[in-house]
Amino acid sequence: MTNGRLLSQEDISNIKLADLIESKKSTKRIQIMTHQILGYPDFETNYEMIKLFAKYGVDYVELQIPFSEPIADGPVFLKANQDALKNGVTVEQCFAFAEKVAAEFNIPFLFMTYYNILYAQGVEAFVKRSKEIGIKGLIVPDAYPEGSAEYFEACQKHGVDAIVLTTPYTTPERMEYLNSLASGFVYCVARKGVTGSKTKFDDATTEYIANCRASLDVPIGVGFGIQEREDIDYLAGKSDIAIVGSELLKVLERDGLAGVERLLAELTEEK
């Protein structure tokens, strides 16, 4: 909870994501980013979840705009994307909701979505609007760096961080290339596969994260398969941010908001 108080003292709207992450390092052994699929199960629940995130001092929140073809998402997020769309959730509603929570909560929000959602309204227009409503960064898993110059240029122009991803298969040469594009932080995908299944953190993961840390000039976040306190403890001291996604949604569906609160308490407890 110390973090919540700290943040409420200063307005984050003009602070760059990377600077914010750096500044928090002295007070937190690991920072946490959580995730919401907008409009699933509904915007009211999204709002209640974000209230809980704020209460437990979650540092960053990814807001995923649903897309009909979410190729990087596993079964839990896939179903959530599709159900949200079936319920009539629109990109416009997502922007309106994001604008509201970005104004109300002193948490940096990022949009996560797929390239076509940007493309449909014009990549630059999307980035510009995101900036205007207070979004700090974008995570677009199919914005393959070699083919998405338009996206990276628009983000740079409008001061929104385009979050690049690395994987355990990223070669040293490619790491260098990705580093040249990186801004905000780099999302280090912990393993192959889609979102939502357990990651076994072993020596190879440790080596991979250390390699990311050594090769990249911006802070790092590790995501994919982070499900429990043990995972957070493992990442503390190795990564700046632990990214928790599908597990929160699984718990919400199984145990409701009370279950989510228990999980957040466990994940964020200072030991």
Partner 1 sequence: MHKEGYFGQYGGIFIPEILYPAFQNLIEEYHKIKEDESFWNEFLHILQNFSGRPTPLTYASKLTEHFGKAKIYIKREDLNHSGAHKINNVIGQGLLTKRMGKTRVIAETGAGQHGVATAIMAAKMGLKATIYMGAVDVERQYPNVFWMKQLGAEVVAVESGQATLKDAINEAMRDWVSSFEDTHYALGTACGAYPFPEMVTYFQSVIGKEVKQQILTAEGRLPSRIYACVGGGSNAMGVFHEFLPSTEVELVGVEAGGKGEESGQHAARIAFKQAKVGVAQGYKTLFLQDHEGQMQETHSIAAGLDYVGVSPILADLHEQNRVRFEAALDHEVIEAVKLIIKQEGIIPAFESSHAFARAFAEIPNTSKDDIVVINLSGRGDKDIFNIAEGLQDDEWKTFIARRHQQYQAR
Q: Rule CB under 8 A: is residue 133 a binding residue for partner 1?
A: no
CB nearer partner 1, residue 163 or residue 232:
163
> Contact with partner 1 (CB under 8 A): which of 3, 31, 46, 166?
166
> Contact with partner 1 (CB under 8 A): which of 6, 72, 181, 257?
72
Q: Give whole-number Cα distances, 104 to 9, 107, 174, in Å.
A: 14, 9, 39
Among candidates 184, 146, 162, which has minimal Cα distance to 113? 162
By CB under 8 A, the residues from 209 to 238 that bind partner 1 are none
Minimum distance from residue 65 beta carbon to partner 1 (Å): 9
> Contact with partner 1 (CB under 8 A): which of 45, 106, 156, 167?
167
State the number of binding residues for partner 1 (CB under 8 A): 41
> Contact with partner 1 (CB under 8 A): which of 13, 104, 147, 207?
147
- Indicate which residue of 59, 62, 231, 240 is catalytic: 62
Q: Rule CB under 8 A: is residue 124 a binding residue for partner 1?
A: no
| Residues 138, 22: Cα–Cα separation, whole Å | 19
| Residues 32, 53: Cα–Cα separation, whole Å | 10
For tokens 């306190």, name the residue: 229
CB nearer partner 1, residue 93 or residue 106:
93
| Residues 97, 120: Cα–Cα separation, whole Å | 19
Minimum distance from residue 8 beta carbon to partner 1 (Å): 35
Rounded (10°) CA dihedral 165, 1, 7, 236: -30
Minimum distance from residue 207 beta carbon to partner 1 (Å): 17
CB nearer partner 1, residue 41 or residue 74:
74
- Indicate which residue of 59, 73, 231, 247 is catalytic: 73
Is residue 202 annotated as a catalytic residue, yes or no?
no
Q: Rule CB under 8 A: is residue 128 a binding residue for partner 1?
A: no
Among candidates 70, 94, 63, 50, which has minimal Cα distance to 196? 70
| Residues 4, 267: Cα–Cα separation, whole Å | 15
| Residues 112, 109: Cα–Cα separation, whole Å | 10
What is residue 239's DSSP assignment? B
> Contact with partner 1 (CB under 8 A): which of 92, 172, 237, 271?
92
CB nearer partner 1, residue 34 or residue 166:
166
List, in order, residues 6 or more apart from 80 with CB less than 8 Å away.
37, 40, 66, 249
Identify whether the C-beta of residue 67 lies closer than 8 Å to the C-beta of residue 117.
yes
| Residues 77, 133: Cα–Cα separation, whole Å | 25
Identify whether the C-beta of residue 182 lies closer than 8 Å to the C-beta of residue 166.
no
> Contact with partner 1 (CB under 8 A): which of 12, 91, 133, 257?
91
Q: Rule CB under 8 A: is residue 165 a binding residue for partner 1?
A: yes
Is residue 62 annotated as a catalytic residue, yes or no?
yes
Q: Which residues are designated catalytic?
A: 62, 73
The residue ranges that bind partner 1 (CB under 8 A) are 67-72, 74, 78-79, 82, 85, 90-92, 114-117, 119-121, 141-144, 146-149, 164-167, 169-171, 174, 189, 192-194
